Amino acid sequence: MRNLREINSFAEGLEMTKVHNFSAGPAILPKEVIDQCISALQNFSGTNLSLIEVSHRGAEFVAIMDEARQIVKDIMQLGDDYEVLYLQGGASTQFLMLAMNLLKTKAAYTNTGTWASKAIKEARAFGEVDVIASSEDKNFSYIPKGFSIADDYDYFHCTSNNTISGTQMKDFPTCGVPMVCDMSSDIFSRELDFTQFDLIYAGAQKNMGPAGTTLVVIKKDILGKVDRQIPTMLNYQTHISKGSMFNTPPVFAVYASLMNLRWIQSKGGLSAMEQRNTEKAQLLYSEIDSNPLFKGTTAVEDRSFMNVTFLLEDENLNDSFLKTASNAGISGIKGHRSVGGFRASMYNAMGLESVQALVELMKNFKR
């Protein structure tokens, strides 16, 4: 017992080593947001109850939900013709839910990676799906361009950022039909004209909050066009009519997302996030391009500013590089199991110093 006490005492006296978290998700959140969540878990809004044990119908949490919905419209500069929902089931449930609500005859999709492929598969259960553009021919290493979208589609679906392959849409096509976008991994990372989209969905756990809730932003006039019977829980109208609280919402995930959205506003909004993310991405891509040990995996013009994917020229050095990274407090850079290599995910909350640490590691590894 004496030895155990001595070990615990010694451990408590040690300063925690900084870990640079490049995980693709669940992803990094600002320290102040985590601190606010800890406080709310202990005593939420002066109730002397934990956030996760108060009634979601109580005035304190209703205020949280109302603000969490409104702040999205404020940041995106959207009017009352849009509704904001916090749902459960992840973006994967949205693959089928959006098709169930919107697909009457046929829809147009672009296939730019794993998640787009999954969305296409689910939509085909509800109608005809035309893949009007794809980058599968080159292992999803670029964003297809120059395609046209006919006016007889019920909607057009795209994925703004491809977490696994490391590509990102820099521009969106002119579209004469409702445009639906999966923004799971780059939501709130840059300035966009969000009025060009009729439905946006995003799992929170990449760049918005912890796992457990999914954001859906929807223009109300695109609903009510299909003839099929939609199950209650999968009908957007159900959740709109109840302010995202038809059933018990994921209270912790909604609260944490609100704290994170407040943090974005406090730092200067989307313009500041874009500047911050551009600086980080340019620093890392510059090292990849100049260091002879490494190479990027995607078309330069389509490189993601959220998920940087790269390889070692000599794959025999992979394990050594990962071990060196771990020893340097760099976590989460191993590439997705389906593609290998390395992936550095640099969401809003990541500071420039973490990217600088990775770049310095790469320089040292070359030496």
Catalytically active residues, by annotation = 115, 182, 206
For helices 318-327 and 352-366, give the axis angle rounded to 10 degrees. Answer: 130
Gap between the Cα atoms of 100 and 350, Å rounded: 36
C-alpha pair distances (Å), 189 with each of 15, 19, 196, 207:
32, 22, 17, 8
User: Are 144 and 167 a contacting pair, CB within 8 Å?
Assistant: no
313: which 2 tokens? 């020229």
**Number of other residues whose CB lies within 10 A of the CB of residue 152:** 10
Structure tokens at 8: 């615990």
Structure tokens at 43: 């005593």
Q: Is 95 helix (H, G, I), strand (E, B) or coil?
A: helix
Burial state string for 163-176 with b = 16 or more CB within 10 A and e = fewer than 16: bbbbbbbeeebebe
- Integer CA distances (angstroms), 83 to 87, 190, 214, 307, in order: 12, 21, 14, 29
Where on the phi/psi map is residue 247: left (φ > 0), alpha (ψ -120 to 50), or beta? beta
Query: 134 φ, ψ to 5°?
Result: -150, 150
Q: Which of 366, 271, 236, 353 is nearest to 312 (CA)?
A: 366
- Helices 114-123 & 90-102 angle (0-180, nearest 10): 40
Q: How far apart are CA 54 and CA 73, in angstroms?
A: 26
Polymer length of the chain? 367
Cα–Cα distance for residue pair 261/71, rounded to 1 Å? 7
| Separation of alpha carbons 265 and 251, rounded Å | 21
The single-letter code of the amino acid at 65 is M
Please list the residues that pair with 179 across neighbouring strands.
Answer: 156
